[in-house]
A and B are shown apart, each in its own frame.
Chain A
Amino acid sequence: MLSGPARALLLPGLVILLIAAVPLSLSVGMIQIDWPRIGDDDTASIALLQLRLPRVLLAVLIGAVMAQTGAVAQALFRNPLAEPGLIGVSAGAALAAALVHTALVGASAVAVLPPSLLLPIAAFAGGLAAAFVVLRLARRDGQTDMTTMLLAGTAINAFVAAIVGLLSARADDAGLRGFTLWMYGNLGRAGWNEIAVAAPLLLAVGLWLPREARGLDALLLGDAEAQHLGIDVERLKRRLLIAVVLATGAAVSLAGVIGFVGLVVPHAIRLLAGPGHRLLMPASALLGAILLTLADTVARTAAAPAEWPVGALTSALGAPFFLALLLRMRTRIGLP
């Protein structure tokens, strides 16, 4: 754990790393970018402005918001292993994406909307719908019960996975491949139009969540304890859940499922700076943005011209890191 002065340098340090990661990611790739001549060279300009810039922007926004919503889910469930996927958003989005990718619905709907638009809209709607079912099931006598939500989320996740399995069996090869790649996350799908729609939402959630730091700290003590401290727990929970669902829905609909960022990043920050949300929320946002930016840079350059699905990469790197944390530092991260 960092002590006084080092702790004070954590946020500035992360800001510097992020400022370094963005131009690094913009410079690397198939097409060489000659920075002084960027206005003259058409290919390089297009690569930079139409391909890399939106992609880096998306990585920063989604990485920041996923890390924060992970921390929020962990506070809401009072469990360091929780993540927004428990609420069913990703599963619902996946089901909608599977529906779009299978000839079943795809053929008729594509006629109305081009797939590049249909897919994110359907995924966003599917994510919200599944989350709505889970949130509704967890309501009892006007209270949101997180244990019920965990179980309801598990059930909905299993049910959705079953339907996705059935759909996959009926899908043709192209649909199956498209869906499988969608599932593993990719930041290259979204262009400026999609970002223009999603960025305000992601930005609003990302800037608002750190303001709830006191309430999040109080939630770690327990719902009753937080209420005794003067927090309106039910309203706080609803605000947080809606923010988590909207942000996760937006992230998943644009970039597919990107695993482990929401789980690993808050853990890493807790190790460095403790569990207090005043520092945890902004630091997680910054580290999430840095890691996803770098991961995406590797994903699109390591095997160029082919691309690795960035979600597979974050999971491949995140899982062993997570296991190491789990085994070596159980109490430091809040496990019993």
Chain B
Amino acid sequence: MTLAATTVTCIAGQRRLLDAVSLQVTPGALHVLLGPNGAGKSTLLGVLAGDRRPQAGQVTLDDRPLGEWPTITVARRRAVMMQRDELRFPFSVDEVVALGRLPWQRRANAAGERAIVASSLAQAGAAQLAGRRYPELSGGERARVQLARALAQIHADDGDAAARYLLLDEPTASLDFAFQHQVLLTLRQLADRGTGVLAILQDPNLALRHADAVSLLAAGRVVASGSPASVLDADRLSAVYGLPIVAAKVADGPPTLLVAKGLQGIPE
């Protein structure tokens, strides 16, 4: 049981965005995708979400090609949180989260549905935003509401045992320090309860702290994949990002990655 990309290649014009990339999202694990800007992280997420058809390779859900599943079944098992949101119409926060329940085709004002909306908002740290108008929210608040919408979409019912998947493109992008950790703790809990989570992050320290597995992408290829500690090696990151990076040990936590002294502007 996985959501898997197998030797996926994506080409745009002359550029290879992804070059024979394989990656598995496993139920029960929080998998983080890291890599420099333009490495192909969002492209890979788009392929796994079914937004983009790869020129070679395939995406499977439970060993069956993604495209062969009914769209409604996929929508009930896999939610996606995108980086940009285009919503400009004045829905209330609750209405936005309730849109996540659309694949379930139930009446929006049924008590059970309202409870799912409320608990999803609480899980995303957005309970206090309920009742506000979505366009009036800040970027970080919107991100939390979109996370709640994704959580509502894959809310597991009693007796429905099929594994759920959650794909997130930089869920922490516009969040403050505290909410970054809160969102990752939420994802952690979700994974612990059996959901397969794939999140694109920019901060290797968040990955070191919270992830079960990390894949490091550079120039459309997977440079390394495995446990956070093994993948996020200071020397490897220095090479991939072109920055002098060192690992510092703080108390008895995982190592913290720092940019070393002697940084001379942005490397070419």
Contact = CB atoms under 8 A, between A and B. Distances in A.
A332 B102 contact: no
Interface residues of A, number: 28
Given A222-B85, A222-B86, A217 B99 contact: yes
Nearest to B95: A276
Interface in A225-239: 225, 227-232
Contacts of A332: 90, 133
A106 to B, nearest CB: 45
A276 B71 contact: no
B103 A275 contact: no
Interface stretch (B57-65, B73-81, B199-207): B73-81
Interface string B88-126: 111110011001101101001000000000000000000
B56 to A, nearest CB: 17
Contacts, number: 84
B196 to A, nearest CB: 16
Contacts of B76: 230
Contacts of A275: 89-91
B49 interface: yes
A229 B89 contact: no
A167 to B, nearest CB: 39
A139 interface: no
A224 interface: yes
Interface of B is mostly: mixed
A332 B133 CA distance: 8
B135 interface: yes
Given A229-B103, A331-B133, A224 B90 contact: no
A270 interface: yes
A175 interface: no
Nearest to B104: A230
Interface in A295-333: 331-333
B75 A334 contact: no
- Report the contact-size class of chain B (Cβ under 8 Å from the partner): 20 to 34
Interface of A: 78-80, 214, 217-218, 220-222, 224-225, 227-232, 270, 274-276, 278, 331-336
Contact of A274 (B72, B90, B103): B90
Contacts of B72: 230
Interface of A is mostly: loop
B103 A230 contact: yes
B120 to A, nearest CB: 14
A229 B89 CA distance: 18
A265 B74 CA distance: 37
Contact of B89 (A80, A224, A227): A80
B91 A80 contact: no
Most chain B beta carbons < 10 A, residue from A228, A278, A332: A228
A211 B133 CA distance: 25
Given A218-B99, A221-B99, A227 B88 contact: no
Most chain A beta carbons < 10 A, residue from B76, B78, B82: B82
A225 B82 contact: yes
Given A78-B86, A221-B85, A274 B75 contact: no
Most chain A beta carbons < 10 A, residue from B50, B51, B135: B135
Given A214-B102, A222-B82, A331-B136, A227 B90 contact: no
Nearest to B80: A228
A193 to B, nearest CB: 41
Q: Considering the complex of A and B, which 6 residue pairs feature the smallest CB-CB distances, nearest first?
A: A230-B75, A275-B89, A222-B86, A334-B89, A230-B103, A230-B72
A220 B98 CA distance: 13
A266 to B, nearest CB: 10
B36 to A, nearest CB: 24
Contacts of B102: 214, 217-218, 229-231
B251 interface: no
B178 interface: no
A68 B82 CA distance: 30
Contacts of B80: 224-225, 228
A227 B49 CA distance: 10
Given A224-B51, A331-B133, A331-B136, A229 B88 contact: no
A331 B135 contact: yes
Contacts of A276: 91, 95
